[in-house]
Structures are given as C-alpha cells and as structure tokens.
Homo-oligomer: A and B are copies of this chain.
Amino acid sequence: MNPSDWRTYLVTQASLSGDRTTPEIVRAAIDGGIDAVQLREKETSARSRHELGHELRELTAEAGVDLIVNDRLDIAQVIDADGVHVGQSDLPVGVARDLLGPDAIVGCSTATVAEARNAEAEGADYLGVGAIYGTSSKDVDDGKDGVGPARIAAIADAVSIPVVGIGGITADNAAPVVDAGTAGVAVISEITAATDPEAATESLVAAAETTKSVATREHSQ
C-alpha cells in the first residue's frame, strides 16, 4: 500500500496491552480495519522484537496490511517488512534508503518544518509528526503537551510526501489532525490499551475516513 493511502496506523507497545499479547492486539486491529502496523517495542530486546516481527509479518501479510519496523533496519530486512521508521537519533533516512533499496517504505519522525524538508530530501516516503496532543505512551521531543494540529498543518504544507499524525490521538479528536492535511492518524494507546481493540480501531477508521471524505469534498468544491 502507498503511505498516502494509509488512514490508520498502529504502533505496538506491549507494556500497554494488559494481558493481551502484541499479536492479539495486532490481529484485533487488522479485524478492525487498520492499514499499517509499526513494530516498535523499544523496551524489549532485539531478539524478542525479531521473534515478534516474524509473527506480525505473517498476520499482516495475510491481511494486506503494511508492516513497518521502528529503528532497526536489520530486523526489517530479516522479517521482510515493508519498510522502516526512523527517528532523528536513529540511522538517517538516506542510509535506510541506500541499504533497503527503492521499494522499501522509509518513514521518519519529524517535529519541525526543517526536519520534515530534510527527511523528504533524503528520500523519506512519509513523515510521522507528533506528539499532536499530550501523550503518556511515547517519549517525544516536544514534551507532554503536544505540538497541536497547527504544527502538522505547517509541515504538511511544506512537503509533498504524506504525513501521519501521532500522539494522544483518539476517535474523538482525530478530525482536526486529518483536517490539518495528514494522510492519516497513528496511535498506540487508543487501540493497544482499549478494552476492545477491534472496536477501537473501527471507531478510529470511521473518524479518519469521515473527516477525510468531508475534507476531500470541500477541497473539490
């Protein structure tokens, strides 16, 4: 799938999944209509992520859902992921592009217009921007308060590649993020910590799609 077609994107984090395993959360998200899954799990060992990665590859490949690996290009290669997502302190976008080739999806976390333009110039396929709202589940450069939809609008205007918002996004507050010009919304807690992850995904998909179709209609008038 092209990242511009992503509407919803799940970033995994086992520590928030309660008594469910990460494959169980991912299976529920797939059943709920998720478009992409990022294997993150920064708190676990490379060996654990590698084993989990093989499981998630099987689940996502069957469903036609994109699988992206955070940070580790080697794990992405070994599990045959669709791509990688790198942050500002991970390997540079250009290095990932050179190692993984033109067909791999390479995404990059950016918090400013300058970072976004640089990532696009290095060959990124999409950008993750956040934390949009305050978040408790992911360390972000901009602290706990969130950069807000205005920042994502500025970044989306500055680049021609798709932008995904992340950080504190829920079905209820997704609309301003999509309205700001993003391709879609990425979440951790909203799905992973939900009592019913499948229903939570369905609500998020509905929120992202409704807003998107309204935005598209307004633009075309």
Contact = CB atoms under 8 A, between A and B. Distances in A.
Contacts of A73: 74, 77
Contacts of A77: 73-74, 99
A121 interface: no
A45 B89 contact: yes
Interface in A1-51: 45-48, 50
A75 interface: yes
**SS of A interface (majority):** helix
A91 B78 contact: yes
A55 interface: no
B89 A50 contact: no
Interface in A86-126: 88-92, 95, 98-99
Interface of A: 45-48, 50, 71-75, 77-78, 88-92, 95, 98-99
Given A46-B71, A46-B91, A48-B89, 10 more contacts: A46-B89, A47-B92, A50-B91, A50-B92, A50-B95, A73-B77, A74-B77, A74-B91, A78-B91, A78-B95
Q: Which 3 A-B pairs have the closest CB atoms?
A: A73-B74, A45-B89, A74-B74
